[in-house]
């Protein structure tokens, strides 16, 4: 979500993510600064035509924040036509409530900082200009289709577990039922970690590499000759 200010911001010239609001992280809400390059920015606005063009012409006065939540919703990855994966995801009531609270929080911060307009990622509340608009947005009953969302760092599609019925790979990163096949990316993380998982993924990949190295260095056991 973004906001238009009177003063020049030019967030795209600096560090993309330099700020966050961690007060409600334990509740599953972590707003983070997210200034996108101008060639990517248009997709984050809920407008088309002249309204979008006017906003992009003033992009040097736009500030942006991403509202990241820790989701518990369920989903599936199925085999579709032609062997292509079909991804299904259901945005639950809890997740919608967290997203709505997070957007209201960031909107309040933007307005307090002097924003002329705030653009939540909600189809029914495309522009918030004052406290009355914010109150209406906070009290609105939302559906999953009302949100303009993006997703990054997908996790858990090949989750790690101790038993085949609970996951795809063992604690040693080996796929159950497929000896010699190992997975070492973010898909083995069992669930959402509620923060950027790059360090977690790197740690798991390093661990998997160490386990594989130990296995390859181990002496080969041969059956005794008859």
Domain range for 199 is 164-217
Residue ending a domain, choose from 97, 112, 146: 146
Same domain, 43 and 122: yes
Q: What is the pLDDT of residues 155-189, one digit of tens each?
A: 888 999 999 999 999 999 999 999 999 999 999 99
Residue ending a domain, choose from 117, 146, 175: 146
Same domain, 23 and 66: yes
Same domain, 139 and 41: yes
Q: How far apart are the C-alpha atoms of 169 and 62, rounded to whole Å?
A: 44
Find tokens 């599609």 and name the residue.
157
Specify the number of domains making up the chain: 2
Torsion on CA atoms 175, 178, 183, 186, rounded to nearest 10: -50
- DSSP letters, 172-209, are TSBBTT-TT-B--SGGGS-S--SS--HHHHHHHHHHHH
Q: In whole angstroms, how far apart are CA 176 and each of 37, 49, 159, 179? A: 42, 51, 11, 7
Nearest to 36 by CA among 16, 53, 19, 55: 16
Same domain, 81 and 38: yes
Whether residue 152 lies inside any domain: the answer is no
Whether residue 159 lies inside any domain: the answer is no
Same domain, 173 and 132: no
Whether residue 93 lies inside any domain: the answer is yes
Q: What is the pLDDT of residues 12-59, one digit of tens each?
A: 887 777 888 999 988 889 999 888 888 788 888 888 899 999 999 999
Whether residue 158 lies inside any domain: the answer is no
109: helix, coil or strand? helix
Q: Which two tokens stand for residue 207?
A: 């661990």
Whether residue 185 lies inside any domain: the answer is yes
Residue 156, judged by CB atoms within 10 A of its CB (0-12, 13-18, 19+), counts as middle
Nearest to 153 by CA among 91, 69, 225: 69
Interval 103-113 mean pLDDT:
96
């Amino acid at each position: 979500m973004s906001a238009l200010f009177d003063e020049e911001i030019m967030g795209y010239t600096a560090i993309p993510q330099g700020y966050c609001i961690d007060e409600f992280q334990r509740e599953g809400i972590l707003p983070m600064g997210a200034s996108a390059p101008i060639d990517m920015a248009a997709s984050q606005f809920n407008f088309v035509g002249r309204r979008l063009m006017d906003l992009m012409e003033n992009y040097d006065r736009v500030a942006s924040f991403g509202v990241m939540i820790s989701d518990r919703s369920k989903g599936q990855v199925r085999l579709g036509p032609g062997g292509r994966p079909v991804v299904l995801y259901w945005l639950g009531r809890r997740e919608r409530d967290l997203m709505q609270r997070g957007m209201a929080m960031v909107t309040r911060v933007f307005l307090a900082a002097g924003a002329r307009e705030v653009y939540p990622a909600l189809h029914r509340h495309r522009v918030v200009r004052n406290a009355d608009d914010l109150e209406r947005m906070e009290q609105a009953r939302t559906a999953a289709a009302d949100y303009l969302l993006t997703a990054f760092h997908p996790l858990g599609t090949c989750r790690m577990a101790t038993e085949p019925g609970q996951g795809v790979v063992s604690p040693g990163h080996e796929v159950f039922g497929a000896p010699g096949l190992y997975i070492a990316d973010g898909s083995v993380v069992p669930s959402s970690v509620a923060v950027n998982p790059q360090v977690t993924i790197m740690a798991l990949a390093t661990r998997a590499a160490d386990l594989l190295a130990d296995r390859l260095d181990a002496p080969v056991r041969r059956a005794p000759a008859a």
